[in-house]
Chain A
Amino acid sequence: MSMGSLAFDEFGRPFLILKDQDKKSRLHGIEAHKSHIMAAKTVASTLRTSLGPKGLDKMMVSSDGEVTISNDGATILSMMDVDHQIAKLMVQLSKSQDDEIGDGTTGVVVMAGALLEQAEQLLDRGIHPIRIADGYEMAAQVAIGHLDKICDQFPLDQSHRERLIETAMTTLGSKIVNRCHRQFAEIAVDAVLSVADLERKDVDFELIKMEGKVGGKLEDTMLVKGVVIDKDMSHPQMPKRIKDAKIAILTCPFEPPKPKTKHKLDVTSVDDYKKLRVYETEKFDEMVKQVKDTGANLVICQWGFDDEANHLLLQRQLPAVRWVGGPEIELIAIATGGRIVPRFQELTTDKLGKAGIVRELTFGTTKDRMLVIEECHNSRAVTIFIRAGNRMIIEEAKRSLHDALCVVRNLVKDHRIVYGGGAAEIAMSLAVSQEAEKISTLEQYAMRAFADALDSVPLALAENSGQAPIQTVAEIKSRQVTEKNPRLGIDCMNKGSNDMREQHVIETLSSKRAQIMLAVQLTKMILKIDDIRSSSENMF
């Protein structure tokens, strides 16, 4: 570690130029590069073993003892609480893959780690870091161009549901939920298809809600074409099942209205007090009547009401649900086609939401209850209701389903697919190394390094599946060339075939593309830094 540089005056005394210069550390030149690459490689090697269907999970314990088990690259990294600046960039990299695509968060980090590892060797040979970065960029263009060539396309409609399910299954393959592989994939596809706007190629994730409840089996997970809310009827004697529900959605409380201005009511005599009592009951009466008049037979209320109102509602046979959160209210309104009403006076019949059936769900021996609103007027809002043995599995199932949903959404946006299992990477690697020979400048070396880095994904896949990595990859590489078949990949599940089309291992083109682009972008950024100054000494 070198200190910040010092200047000397005419007597040779050093003097300070920067504030707290003696406390700052500076890393410069090739050492800086080495330190960056080291950090990035460490992060990448953590994730390497979770790649692929045979990849293993990581368990993270947070500072307050909370346990998370995950296979999702972005989740693992964000939980790791990384402190090193360059490592933080890697975390952001996987996060931005997560934001944009939702899937392939592990792959992108492994790829970036491999690119940097290759760059280290080139740096040792004395190649200028920016030349390496330029070479990588050129190689990425070639690779993406090649991807466009080898991709497959299929039109998206209900008849191709099978293909969508296969893609979702590839994503779910590496996750904990692969016990109910097909079921989860179907849930994801159905959920997306029911909210997707195929015309505009837009999928609004706000309309898909995920609820989890501990207990039961993973197999009990289901897709509800409607809304599930974690609430029950406000009074235990209210009906548990309402057919042809007409729902009034209120955001005002069942209580006498209060002005917002600071106010004070002086009650001076018993008469006054009685009057006030009467007034309050009248108000309740009036409100319930207003709701009843519109023909509503269920009230969803954003706020609460006291027991007296509750009792009154029961008497008037108006089932009600109280304390329903804002987003849920909105979802119910969208699903049932109702309007959110802020005032009793505004309630009219056409503002009511309609649902075929509203029922209360009870679970096993627990007293937990949930309300399911189904057969809605507008079936575009759906809820995925996850059951599993413990909270950690539910959380992981949610994340896995999120990945699967994202993948299906990407297919709705862009129908093009490539084959997984490392097939696309091997094909790109071959294309890049072929193209590299045609380049006369130094960048040739960087391009070759890029091709080698691309191999790291199939290598890791083979390694994680317990096969001899180099041998397997070499074999597939040669087969891809001789058979001219870019669909050959690693046979992770030992099914006996290397053709990923037969194995139905499909990934979206947009995901692969984003992986390459993001990884190259990050590598380039890291390679460009040759000077780190930091205030605390223990940082580097």
Chain B
Amino acid sequence: MLEKLLILLFASNVLAQVCMPDAPEAYKVRLSIKTALGDQAYTWNDNELYLFRATLAFAMRNYLSGQLFDVSNILVCNETERVSFWFMVKSVTNPTTLIEKQHVENAIKESRHRINSAFLLTDQTLEFLGILPTLASPFVPATPPWLIAFGVVMGVVGAGIVYFLVAAVVQRKRKKTLDEEEEAKGATENEIAGENLDGIYNTSFSDDEKVTEM
């Protein structure tokens, strides 16, 4: 009876250290190298997998400071040709237990950019299923550019309107003084050439006002 219990305990310990897909502490990773890099894509091999385990250990070290994670703490299984696999993280302090999902997620989120850069990938091409990619907040400039454009256009239009109005007023004033001069000139001419008043179509008296400045 006691031996059976011992064997069961031993077996469960061994099992706890073997990576299993869909385990509560496991994450699935998917890499789309060809999509990201096209012709310059590198082939996925064991060395790349080693680098992955190393970067993940780096992330865990950063997150849980003091605990020195090593490549051997990162367990990988179920590799496919797609380049996807599952991984789990063994604890440093207690080699028989696994780190919980939440801690792994936080560690990855903190060092996500570094992990991506190690593989020349992005949040979309190096997917951790279950961890949402961090969203870049939209770029909002300090002064809305449309306000600047609006100010420029309204300035130009306002200047144009002011120019036209001033020109119209100046022209009207000039016309008024010209009319007054013409009337005075016409009166003196009439006194000089007395008999020729009738029958001449005197254009200086013609209706200037009809020709509006349109």
Q: Do A and B bind each other?
A: no
Taking beta carbons and an 8 Å cutoff, which residues of B are in contact with A? none
